[in-house]
């Protein structure tokens, strides 16, 4: 096997390694130890300056395990004399790419041994580190908003350059597939809230306010919360996965090389699409919540639909629906910017993609709740005066 994969020749201060065949993990297990031993003997005593050349014209395939072997050989040469010359000749594009990606890999790096049991101090340190990372992550949000404002200014200044077709595509992807799940969840939550109110409120002598109370809660709070959470789990994860995949495949780097603005081509169409999609889904959620309430009252308490519509009309004001709609742009912008930001942080491995997709969803859910709470409390205080 070794004769087919390499030929090592040594003379005075010259080492030549001629490679051929498939340098992949399945083949290296049989020759790695032998090659390293032969190479160490050829290098000889330390202090000798060596010119080491690797010829790879006949290599048919290579993977990262082969690059690690070559780095071991490089270490043997530089250990003998740090001024030794190392040259790779006739590399394929695949070989060059893998070699570049592992250029910073340190074979001598010491890794902490995993502990079987974590001490209380380790748990406390882990909690502190997690809290610090969360704080740093949310410090990025003002910067992301600044980039959005700049992007919005560019759209107003040069509207002909905005990718309207891309925005419409993302609007369709964000809206149409989500309508069914948003409507179904809102319908069931509206029915459950109505049942609980219809059972509990009569005990306080307020049975006449059941429909008005449920209508107000549905319009102001549950609709935007449910929609925001569903969109965060569905759309934010999809955006992060899309951009993360482009990052892994070096498509974003290629866009930058040819002079394309990733903010204009990738981020702004998705942000603008979400600015339209979230209000549409929220309004559908409000109507579905009302429908769930009406159906339950009709089945359980024999309240006619005409009577329900009159009570909703009297009990729910336009400002209640407007409050939910005012929240949508803030939530929409925050979710998309966070999702895109996490997508850009993905590195060239699947674990990184899954990690940042999870972080994107968690951040988006957190922002939905925080933004909804702040705006709800603010408008409640305004209406109380």
Tokens of 206: 């307020």
Contacts of 231 (CB under 8 A, 6+ apart): 174, 178, 274, 277, 278, 281, 335
pLDDT at residue 113, as a whole number? 59
pLDDT at residue 224, as a whole number? 92
pLDDT at residue 122, as a whole number? 74
pLDDT at residue 183, as a whole number? 95
pLDDT at residue 13, as a whole number? 77
d(CA 270, CA 212): 36
Tokens of 354: 């899954």
- Strand pairing report for 14-23 and 6-11: antiparallel
pLDDT at residue 146, as a whole number? 82
Which parts of the chain register pLDDT below 50?
Answer: 1-3, 205, 385
- Contact indicator for 344, 252 with CB cutoff of 8 Å: yes
Contacts of 209 (CB under 8 A, 6+ apart): 201, 315
Distances (CA, A) of 370 to 121, 220, 383: 31, 15, 20
Rg (CA), the chain: 31
pLDDT at residue 1, as a whole number? 44
Neighbours of 118 (CB within 10 A): 11
Neighbours of 79 (CB within 10 A): 12
d(CA 308, CA 291): 10
pLDDT at residue 203, as a whole number? 56
Tokens of 170: 């993302």
d(CA 72, CA 37): 11
- Residues 285-330: tens digit of each pLDDT: 999 999 999 999 888 888 888 888 888 888 888 888 888 899 999 9
- Residues paired with 62 in a beta bridge: 23
* C-alpha dihedral, 310 to 314 to 318 to 322, nearest 10°: -90
What are phi and psi for residue 270, nearest 5 degrees? -70, -40
What structural domains does the chain harbor? 2-101 (3.30.750.24), 147-384 (no CATH)
- Contact indicator for 57, 90 with CB cutoff of 8 Å: yes
């Amino acid at each position: 096997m070794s004769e087919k994969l390499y030929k090592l020749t040594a003379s005075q201060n010259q080492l030549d390694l001629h490679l051929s065949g498939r340098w992949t993990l399945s083949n290296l297990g049989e020759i790695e130890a032998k090659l390293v031993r032969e190479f160490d003997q050829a290098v000889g005593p330390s202090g000798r300056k060596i010119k080491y050349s690797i010829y790879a014209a006949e290599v048919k395939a290579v993977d990262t395990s082969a690059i690690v072997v070559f780095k071991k050989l490089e270490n043997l040469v530089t250990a003998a004399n740090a001024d030794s010359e190392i040259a790779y000749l006739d590399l394929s594009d695949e070989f060059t790419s893998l070699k570049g990606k592992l250029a910073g890999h340190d074979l001598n790096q010491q890794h902490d041994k995993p502990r079987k049991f974590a001490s209380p101090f380790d748990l406390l340190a882990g909690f502190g580190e997690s809290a610090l990372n969360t704080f740093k992550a949310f410090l990025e949000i003002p910067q992301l908003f600044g980039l959005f404002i700049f992007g919005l200014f560019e759209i107003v200044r040069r509207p002909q350059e905005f990718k309207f077709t891309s925005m419409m595509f993302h609007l369709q992807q964000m809206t149409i597939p989500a309508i069914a799940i948003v409507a179904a969840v809102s319908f069931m939550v509206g029915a459950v809230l109505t049942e609980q109110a219809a059972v509990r409120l009569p005990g306080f002598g307020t049975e006449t306010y059941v429909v008005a109370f449920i209508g107000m809660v549905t319009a102001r709070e549950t609709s935007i919360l449910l929609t925001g959470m569903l969109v965060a789990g569905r759309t934010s994860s999809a955006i992060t996965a899309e951009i993360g995949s482009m990052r892994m495949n070096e498509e974003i780097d290629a866009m930058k090389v040819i002079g394309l603005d990733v903010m204009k081509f990738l981020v702004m169409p998705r942000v603008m699409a979400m600015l339209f999609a979230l209000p549409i889904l929220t309004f559908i959620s409000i109507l579905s919540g009302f429908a769930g309430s009406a159906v339950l009252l009709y089945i359980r308490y024999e309240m006619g639909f005409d009577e329900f519509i009159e009570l909703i009309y009297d009990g729910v004001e336009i400002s209640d629906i407007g409050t939910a709609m005012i929240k949508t742009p803030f939530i929409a912008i925050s979710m998309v910017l966070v999702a895109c930001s996490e997508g850009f942080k993905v590195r060239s491995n699947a674990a990184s993609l899954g990690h940042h997709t999870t972080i994107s969803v968690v951040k988006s859910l957190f922002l939905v709740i925080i933004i909804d709470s702040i705006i709800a409390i603010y408008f409640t205080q305004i209406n109380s005066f």
